[in-house]
Structures are given as C-alpha cells and as structure tokens.
Amino acid sequence: MHFLQIAIELIVGFAALFLLTKILGKATLSQVTAFDFISAIVLGEFVGNALYDKDTGLGSILFAIALWGLLIYVVEWCTQKFRGTRSFLEGKPSVVIRNGHLDREQMKKEKLDLNMLQNLLRQKDVFSVREVAYAILETDGTISVLKKNKYANPTNEELQQPQKPVYLPVTLILDGEVDWENLKKAGLNEEWLQNELRKHHIDHAKDIFYCEWKKDEGVYLEKMKKESS
C-alpha cells in the first residue's frame, strides 16, 4: 500500500504540474526569473518531502502546486498591468559591452567576471570580445550579441572568395594578471608582451583589465578604469 500511495501521488503531481504548464503558457515558463527559481526550489522540496512524509497527503501536494501556480500568475499579471513592477520582479537587461568596450561597472553589478562573459559569448559562436559591438545580459542569464560590421559580413562562400585560416584568440591578461601558461602556449614570451604593452603606452600588466592576442589580428586590450579622486 505504501508503494501504491507513492505511485498515486507521483501521477497526480505530474498531471497537476503538466496542467499548470498548459495554463501558464510556454513563454512564461521559458522566462525564468529569480522569483520563479526560488519558487521552483521550494515547491520541489515540498513535493519531495510530501512523497515520503506520512503526515502529508495528496491534498497538500495539490495545494502546493496550485499556490505556486497562483503566485506565478499574480507576478505575471502585475508585470503586465504595472510597468513599474517589471524591473523589480523580472529584472532588466544589462549592457555589458557598449560600443565595443567592456562596461566594467555593469559587469561588477551583475557579478559577471570575464571568464563567465567569455563562456556566454562562446555559446553565441563569438570567440573574441573584439568582434562585439554590443552585448546584453538578459534577465534569464543568457546573452544577446550584436557583432561589429567587420565581423558580420557575408561568408567567404557567399562572396566566392578563397578561405583564410581561422585562429582562436588567446587570453593573455585578465584583471591585471598575466596568464603565463597561455602566453607560453601561444609561442610568446614576457619580452614580447612588454613590447606590445609599450606600443599602447602601457608600462605594467596590472594596468590592463583584459588583453587577448589573435595570430591574424594581433593584440586587443582594455585598460583598467582609473578611479576618480
């Protein structure tokens, strides 16, 4: 009887959640906000405990699912009716690359470091920061990218031009610290790096926020933002 009760609770819970997704719609569920994330964790914990807690019956599971759906519905209704609630309940997109430059203030505000940003860009088939004109961190944690015109041209196949070799960019400096391993793997050395920095009128690597090197395009860097006194 114990296993039969668990089976019934699972089936009913599954059916109720499935019905909830149909009522709320695909668009609502695809836009996972902080509120939805917290609610889902709480609901999952409650349902999990309910399955193995003799004091919690089927009615409690259905009540939790119904209340969770109601809360999400109320939040969506508020954001549709009252525009002022959207930024608080859903958050708002943040521009982390603006006019081809990293916006360090926004990155700091969103707790987004360079490694995380590079990972998000690679998911959009962008392997170099230099290719990006604008990058927007969306409310669901994904990133939208607008490439510079130079990198948004038609493909070589479309232009019927001979194909050129493709090179991956190598990150040399992050947050003022040199990645000596990457420098060595790229076949470069400290003397070369110092010469490149001097070309950009920079004396120390600690003055660099981000620096990458690409075999066919050379060095691309962003300086540290100087604190205003």
Domain residue ranges of the chain, discontinuous segments joined by +: 2-88, 94-151, 167-223
Nearest-angstrom CA–CA distance, 68 and 70: 5
Buried b / exposed e over 29-68, threshold 16 CB at 10 Å, is eeeebeebeebeeebeebbeebeeeeebeeebbbebbeeb
What tens digit of pLDDT does each residue of 34-52 get?
Answer: 555 666 666 666 666 666 6
What tens digit of pLDDT does each residue of 156-208 get?
Answer: 665 666 767 778 889 999 888 999 999 998 999 999 999 999 999 999 999 99
Q: Which CATH class is domain 94-151?
A: alpha beta
What tens digit of pLDDT does each residue of 39-98 get?
Answer: 666 666 666 666 666 666 667 667 766 777 777 777 778 777 776 776 666 667 889 999
How far the first Cα of the chain sits from its last, in Å, is 73
Give the DSSP letter of residue 225.
Answer: P
CATH of 167-223, one of 3.40.50.720, 3.20.20.450, 1.10.3720.10, 3.30.240.20: 3.30.240.20
